[in-house]
Structure 1
Amino acid sequence: MTPTATSASSAVPAETGRTLAADAPFFIVMNAGSGRRQSDATRTVLERELGAAGRRFDLRIVDDPRKLASVAREAAAAACAQEGVLVGAGGDGTLCAVAQAAHEAGCPFAVLPRGTFNYFSRDHGIPADPEQSTKLLLDARAWPVQVGFVNERMFLVNASLGLYPRLLEDREIYKRQFGRSRIVALWSALSTLLKPHRHLRLHIEHEGSTTEIRSSTLFVGNNRLQMEQIGMPDEARALERGLLVAIAPRPVGRLMHLWLSLHGAAGRLSDSEHVVSFTFGRITVMHPSKKWKRIKIATDGEVARLPMPLEFRVSDKPLLLLKPEPAVAEANRS
């Protein structure tokens, strides 16, 4: 399968910001997995910045990750009822779970970045500094942004199957042992890539035709910053046209996988002849064996099992995100 310039029927409409009511309350859902100290620090900043501005907020700290989605839905319902904003505080996985609740309810969404990589917030120019991101809540407008889906599961940054979900599971084991940092994440990735892995045979339906690919992983991206960092600028620009990007390494050995990863880390992945990429608005992924009923899927760092076939698509409805004005957001991207 070769790269294609597909036109999207579900692209995010031309950007127009929505101004919120000056007294709109904030319903903040935070994953306590980041640590009690960070939770206390977040509450202190909220009380200082929002309290000084006379803005109401409701902070809901989730101690059990299994309850994150249900707490987010409850907070989204409250936000809709009071014409408020649903806010996610955490890394990309937490933000995605809370964002899906906002997307389903139709209320504005905002983020307080608390993760390791923070691809979503960085791509939209939202400051990582707790005080700055909290102050942004007070006067930012809500802008439509693109989100992707695999079946009924939403993703803000990326979704994948094959080797990548295994890499994420191994990374969590390393984090529990050595703590959360980019160095630990990279070391874990190198360790996983050097382990034996199998190649998947996948049938991909795209615009009326079916293509078979063999690869260790299928990666679907929805984040300009991530695409640019691995050296795929053309694919990054395709996201601005309402498309998603699929990337799959050709069948190669472990050392070549490691080499490809290093190439990506150096921002030169598009130079490699061992990688297939294409853009799309919607694809269906199937496995030729009927025994494959469910498969592990990673969405924004969270792993789950989803039923086959898999449908990857751009959502027809954008997410309304509180973020800086376009020129400021672009200047803040890093």
Structure 2
Amino acid sequence: MRYSAALPHTPADIALVRLSRWADKGRLWWFVAALLAIRKGPSRRAALRGLAALGIASAVANLVGKPLLPRRRPAAEAVPEVRRLRIHPTSSSFPSGHAASAAAFVTAAALESPRLGAALIPLGTAVAYSRLHTGVHWPSDIGAGAALGAFTALATRHWWPPHPDARAHTTHPADAPALPEGERVLTVVNRSSGTASDDPTPTIRARWPRTELLHTEPGTELRLQLTEELRHHGGRIRALGAAGGDGTVAAVAAVAADHGLPLALIPTGTLNHFARDLGIRDLADTDVAIRAGSAVGIDLGEVEVDTDHDTVRRQFINTASLGGYPEMVRLRETIERHHPRWPSAIVAMARTLRHARPLRIRLNGEDMLVWLLFVGNGTYAPKGVIPSHRPALDTGLLDVRYLRADKRYSRTRFLLAVVTNTLATSHVYAQRDLAEVDVVLLDGNRRIATDGEVGPLGHRFRFRSRPSALSVYRPRTPTP
């Protein structure tokens, strides 16, 4: 402390004072997170994990550490007047909340992107040191706070495993024609995917001047619209492109699989889970693959829905589900007519969970009561409550998960298992990898949701995996 106080006066004194104030209540890190969240992928995940770790570390430091371990702060006179803060803190000195927040955010960001974490280390170090330089913390306060923050960030892996920044594996190459400039490619464009002001049409036209564009029409069944357009072109089309979110891609993928055409993926939607697993970041990645004729074969999920009048067949590229999720999607769409998408989703989820009722089903011949049934196209990881990615896209299996409602205090036990990360041994939550699943509703009809879109009302649902049924353009090697 004396050594720091004896350092000669430099412009860095004012900079560190301002930095210390900017970091009050985590404001600096919220600003950094906002900047990181602009870009999808590891950057956005780093921002989310960083804020989660910051919140936990700050709460532990200020609500637990300081009350339990009171310690006086250094006297204001310990450092030159030019370095002193206008308002000298009066709370316990141990541990440093600023150091805890800085270490938590930087460490959490490094878990998602080591390069990003390395770039943030100087800023985090400067924030921590600023508390010593301004004379409001002892060095041991800062060391303890930094250790607490780093430990908190590492602990988030217990519930939220870092997403591997690698594309899913497949051992099935597929035959696909090389179509430079989008020649003989029919590209479906959903201009309502993502932000309303971000129409991908000009970008597609610039990259693929010879492609045929088909814009989705509100209120029109996309599968029927696309099938009619293919009939109109009379066999001239050699591949289908899809510019939109997972719902749009799923509809185009179903038609592509039925007609034996490869799919050219252009991620422009909000989430793009399918593109992320494939390792397709943008149109440039797909353009590299389509010029080289590089494609892979992946599995496609399929469900046959028995309604009161007929049987409807739907394909899904990511997930299908029964229970609360379809109702939440329908409610979100209703609220979304007058309010933004994300607040609408939060309100819809809260209302759905509050009024959820269990399903009486017969799953592969076994009668049970469940709150929710999830079916993934392929085996997802992690095996906990939030499946986030697929290590492989050609397993020929479905990832089946459900929460039982016929066990006492099932929802409470489920929440405890989530908190303690013991879902693998839970008696109320189950996960299986199956090639086929037969689900019969024993008390009426319910709607199914596939890839976030609400589907038909039915009483029997037969799920199966169609191995390597879909060919997708993908570069032979991951793009840097």
Both proteins in one fold, TM over 0.5: yes
The share of aligned pairs that are identical, in percent, is 27
Q: Please tell me whether residue 165 in structure 1 is matched to residue 326 in structure 2.
A: yes
User: Which has the bigger relative contact order, CA under 8 A and spacing at least 6?
Assistant: 1
How far 1:74 moved relative to its partner? 2.8
Candidates 18, 41, 46, aligned match of 2:175: 18
- Say how many residue pairs are matched: 299
- Which residue matches 1:71? 225
CA contact (8 A) 2:379 2:433 kept: no
1:328 is aligned to: 478
1:189-268 equivalences under 5 Å are 190-205=349-364, 210-222=365-377, 230=385, 236=390, 240-251=394-405, 256=412, 259=415, 263=418
- Tell me if structure 1 keeps the 8 A contact 2:379–2:399: no
8 Å CA contact 1:244, 1:314 repeated in 2: yes
Map of 2:216 onto structure 1: 62
| Cα distance between partner residues in 2 of 1:227 and 1:78 | 44
Q: Of Structure 1 and Structure 2, which has the larger fraction of its residues in helix?
A: 2
What does residue range 1-334 of structure 1 map to in structure 2 within 5 Å? 14-23=171-180, 24-34=183-193, 37-39=197-199, 42-51=200-209, 56-77=210-231, 81-127=235-281, 129-134=282-287, 136-139=289-292, 141-151=294-304, 152-181=313-342, 185=345, 187-188=346-347, 190-205=349-364, 210-222=365-377, 230=385, 236=390, 240-251=394-405, 256=412, 259=415, 263=418, 270=424, 272-289=426-443, 292=444, 294-315=445-466, 318-325=469-476, 327-328=477-478
* Residues 140 and 278 of structure 1: CA distance in aligned 2, closer, same or farther (over 3 Å): same
Q: Which amino acid aligns with 2:216?
A: V
The structure where strand makes up a greater share of residues is 1
Q: CA deviation at 1:88?
A: 1.3
- Please list the CA deviations of residues 90-125 of structure 1 after superposition, one character each: whole Å capped at 9, or x if unmatched: 111111111111111111112211222111111100
Give the match's secondary structure for 2:178: coil
- Counterpart AA for 2:249: L
In structure 2, the partner of 1:7 is none
Q: Is the 8 A contact 1:239 1:245 kept in 2?
A: no
Give the AA of the match of 1:279: D
CA-CA distance at 1:61 after TM superposition: 0.8
Cα distance per residue 1:122-159 (max 9 Å; x no partner): 110011x4555555543352211101111011010011
C-alpha contact (below 8 Å) 1:123/1:225 kept by paired residues: no
Supply the AA of the counterpart residue of 1:170.
Answer: L
Q: Is the 8 A contact 1:87 1:110 kept in 2?
A: yes
- Contact 1:249–1:275 (CA<8 Å) still a contact in 2? yes
Measure how far apart 1:255 and its partner are. Answer: 6.3
Q: Which runs of 5+ in 2 are unaligned?
A: 1-168, 305-312
In structure 2, C-alpha distance between the alignment counterparts of 1:213 and 1:19, rounded to whole Å: 45
SS state at 2:361 partner: strand
Local SS of the residue matching 1:145: strand
Q: Larger C-alpha radius of gyration, 1 or 2?
A: 2
Pairwise CA RMSD of aligned residues?
3.5
